Structure 1
């Protein structure tokens, strides 16, 4: 067994174990009660119907527990429906007199309190894909009472953990805080990022994502001349957040899948090849306690199915721009010898978006490919590599497998040596109970001459480093 095969097997086993442990840990830590379990029971058959519609075999390794994992992810991501703000805020108001009003404002007598950079994730009600949120909450205490700072974050999370759109989320957080803590005023500012369609990924980082900013305010923050609102914006600027510059983004269409032409029937339309999948998603909404006929959800099952169909199973061995997309024998370890670093060619920062087969959630990032010239003196065009990455990304995947498949395909064309590095952010690491917001996963595959020459590896990795932009 070659080095790549061993590394891939070890990584795959570790990933599978981690996935299983995450699920088990959540259960051991005291999950939700029987109603949630009943909802999961109703959701799992729906996920099986989706897998069947994608041409997948739910019994294959990697998919056997996917229905359970997807049900748990949706249940955790919408737990806000089962939480009440009053239960969070109750008992969290504390007396804090501050200074005398005649000398200024502070503490509990009119001084502003702002909690910035609250990292949240929510599910877009238009397409059921998670979106990233950076939330900033400010309030002006009244009655000589302040609220525990963690409660501002927890109340924000209650409403984020529901099917949402950004402006309603800002309004609901603002309204709930104003009603529950009865301050002089509340301000909420959100910066939100929605994953784009795979074909619209154009970058190394979050550029190209749909980014919008939204705000909501009450009480003393209202009005264009409010000094409290001006102070709130100024305190955000201290963190490099300029909501005034971002205000124009509120007019940008939020969900890219909204551009899809869909019948507003939620599974009750005439028979089609995807109608059973649409019906399955509708049943998922019902199991979450949502109303599929709510106007904001009309068309949502169709959009989610159209997103999933971009990752339909394709198991054909085909020729694509000179790459053999099948199983090739690549594990022979070549002999040593001097390597000409001038023969190393590379294509870096090839963007991709794939769908995690464990949770049916996107993972996205970049692929770096290094290879030795096969002697022709001509490199392979970047568009061919991008097509290759797209081919392996647009299906239910795991990052380890995708890395290996790309390396094998490139080796089939170069024959001398290949090195592939994939860097990706996994939504399933963020939007579920794990919530490791800044985590990033890197995988590597090494074949041919790169196996025997550490300096060749170092040369390629230095090229990646030299051209790197901001961290994804």
Structure 2
């Protein structure tokens, strides 16, 4: 039975021609420094705008990457393997789209092959692509599951993300050690309770 997949927009950002250039981005950092009460002309801050823009280019590099490029190459020689493949404890760093403050966590991604398998590093790269964008944890979880289901077409996909949101621990309520858990299930993981239970147990969420 073919799984029904709800597709989520990529939210890949604005077109390259509409983006500010590097000089405009550095000027924006200087504006923020002045707004917070700093002097961007003092020695210690002279190179800060350039460093921030360079760092942001890395931290938000996911906008320049496409999930289809990562998941495009698969292997068909699976020797009849039809059970779950789980890659767990994938470290990632993202940023909250509401405050642009870090989200730090781990992702657990599983799928049931349907004649094709991925190189295991591809799953970690997929998590990295979506992590290096402004995100909500709920959206990131759904986007990873959707990309796996849409591009690999497995019999099922399960994604769990556990993360700490620094917008909660550094500001606002300042709740330390609070962890948010989100999940997304497609295909067999929606219909096979035992398979889902195994995923949860192997991911460390049940006994």
1:232 maps to 199
Could you list the runs of 5+ residues in structure 1 that have no partner in the other structure?
A: 1-33, 99-106, 202-206, 246-472
Deviations 1:294-328 (A, max 9, x none): xxxxxxxxxxxxxxxxxxxxxxxxxxxxxxxxxxx
CA distance in structure 1 between the aligned counterparts of 2:22 and 2:165, rounded to whole angstroms: 26
Residue of 183, 187, 195 corresponding to 1:219: 187
Deviations 1:151-170 (A, max 9, x none): 01111111111110111100
Residue of 156, 159, 173 corresponding to 1:188: 159
Residue of 178, 187, 198 corresponding to 2:149: 178
Q: 1:147 offset after TM fit, Å? A: 0.7
- TM-score (normalised: structure 1): 0.38
1:140 maps to 112
Matched, 1:49 2:31: yes
The 5-angstrom pairing of residues 428-443 of structure 1 reads none
State the SS of the aligned residue for 1:147.
Answer: coil
CA distance in structure 1 between the aligned counterparts of 2:187 and 2:35, rounded to whole angstroms: 51
The list of structure 1 runs, each at least 4 consecutive aligned residues, that deviate by more than 6 angstroms after superposition, is none
- 8 Å CA contact retained: 2:95, 2:101: yes
CA distance in structure 2 between the aligned counterparts of 1:64 and 1:92, rounded to whole angstroms: 48
Q: 1:125 offset after TM fit, Å? A: 0.4
State the SS of the aligned residue for 1:146.
Answer: coil
2:97 maps to 125
Residue of 150, 160, 164 corresponding to 2:135: 164
Paired residue total: 189
- 8 Å CA contact retained: 2:108, 2:160: yes
Q: 1:38 offset after TM fit, Å? A: 5.7
Residue of 76, 82, 86 corresponding to 2:58: 76
CA distance in structure 1 between the aligned counterparts of 2:201 and 2:20, rounded to whole angstroms: 48
Deviations 1:41-84 (A, max 9, x none): 22111110011111211122221111111112222221111111
CA distance in structure 2 between the aligned counterparts of 1:66 and 1:150, rounded to whole angstroms: 34
CA distance in structure 2 between the aligned counterparts of 1:209 and 1:126, rounded to whole angstroms: 20
The 5-angstrom pairing of residues 361-440 of structure 1 reads none
Deviations 1:363-412 (A, max 9, x none): xxxxxxxxxxxxxxxxxxxxxxxxxxxxxxxxxxxxxxxxxxxxxxxxxx
- 8 Å CA contact retained: 2:145, 2:186: yes
- 8 Å CA contact retained: 2:73, 2:118: no
Q: 1:183 offset after TM fit, Å? A: 0.6
Question: Which of 1 and 2 has higher RCO (CA within 8 Å, sep 6+)?
Answer: 2
Could you list the runs of 5+ residues in structure 2 that have no partner in the other structure?
A: 1-15
Q: 1:138 offset after TM fit, Å? A: 0.4
Q: 1:94 offset after TM fit, Å? A: 4.0
Residue of 67, 74, 85 corresponding to 1:113: 85
CA distance in structure 1 between the aligned counterparts of 2:106 and 2:150, rounded to whole angstroms: 23
State the SS of the aligned residue for 2:43.
Answer: coil
From the superposition, tell whether residues 46 and 210 of structure 1 become closer, same or farther in structure 2 (CA, over 3 Å).
Answer: farther
Mark the structure with the bigger radius of gyration: 1
